[in-house]
């Protein structure tokens, strides 16, 4: 009993009061559970991100949305698919209320494809269902997404950010064609399947 009085943790407590060491034990257990949950969630994010090649829209590249149609990379004559010297292709698109320009992009199958897209007005979304392509298109910035298509077909490309009264009708297409059907153009020439 003398020992219990000298140690304040061992003193007899009134009914309903939990000893401090018991509180510490429970708190430590919950801290451990919280850290384990955090570790599991981080692992899920990292593993799914790597296995699906998902990446956040991290391309911080600015552009003046008021003049992009006049000159430079996003002038109308420069839009569409361009074959690069290394065999990959770059697709340049402009999103505006309520259309993508061009509204159909042709790309070859099994080829690295880089999409570069920007907006002239409000925030739009660029999504290709069942691929890793999903990014916001923010005026003033160039969004860049890399992917490749393993089978030919027509992929729908809905705008997936609410951008105004015509948002629901804002669609475009990506047409993935066999390599030999992809017109082999000299670099700097552009192609699209828009009518």
Residues that bind ligand CUA (CB under 6 A): 98, 124, 159, 161-163, 167, 170
> Measured between alpha carbons, how far is 139 from 96 in angstroms, rounded to an integer?
9
Q: How far is the CB of 43 from ligand CUA (least distance, A)?
A: 34
Q: How far is the CB of 42 from ligand CUA (least distance, A)?
A: 32
Q: How far is the CB of 170 from ligand CUA (least distance, A)?
A: 4
Among left, alpha and beta (phi > 0; psi -120 to 50; other), residue 20 is alpha
Nearer to ligand CUA, 89 or 91 (CB): 91
Nearer to ligand CUA, 98 or 144 (CB): 98
> Measured between alpha carbons, how far is 92 from 102 in angstroms, rounded to an integer?
9
Nearer to ligand CUA, 161 or 174 (CB): 161
Q: How far is the CB of 50 from ligand CUA (least distance, A)?
A: 29
User: What torsion, rounded to 10 degrees, do the Cα atoms 149, 150, 151, 152 define?
Assistant: 30
Nearer to ligand CUA, 124 or 175 (CB): 124
């Amino acid at each position: 009993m003398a020992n219990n009085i000298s140690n304040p943790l061992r003193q007899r407590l009134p009914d309903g009061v939990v000893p401090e060491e018991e509180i510490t034990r429970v708190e430590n257990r919950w801290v451990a559970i919280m850290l384990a949950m955090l570790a599991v969630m981080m692992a899920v994010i990292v593993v799914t991100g790597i296995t699906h090649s998902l990446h956040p829209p991290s391309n911080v590249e600015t552009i003046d949305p008021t003049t992009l149609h006049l000159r430079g990379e996003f002038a109308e004559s420069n839009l569409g698919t361009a074959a690069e010297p290394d065999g990959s292709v770059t697709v340049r698109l402009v999103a505006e209320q309520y259309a993508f320009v061009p509204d159909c992009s042709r790309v070859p199958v099994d080829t690295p494809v880089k999409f570069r897209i920007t907006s002239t007005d409000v925030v739009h979304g660029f999504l290709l269902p069942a691929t890793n392509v999903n990014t916001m298109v923010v005026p003033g910035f160039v969004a860049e997404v890399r992917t490749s298509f393993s089978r030919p077909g027509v992929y729908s490309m809905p705008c997936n950010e609410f951008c105004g009264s015509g948002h629901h009708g804002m669609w475009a297409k990506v047409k993935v064609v066999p390599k030999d059907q992809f017109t082999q153009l000299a670099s700097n020439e552009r192609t699209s399947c828009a009518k």
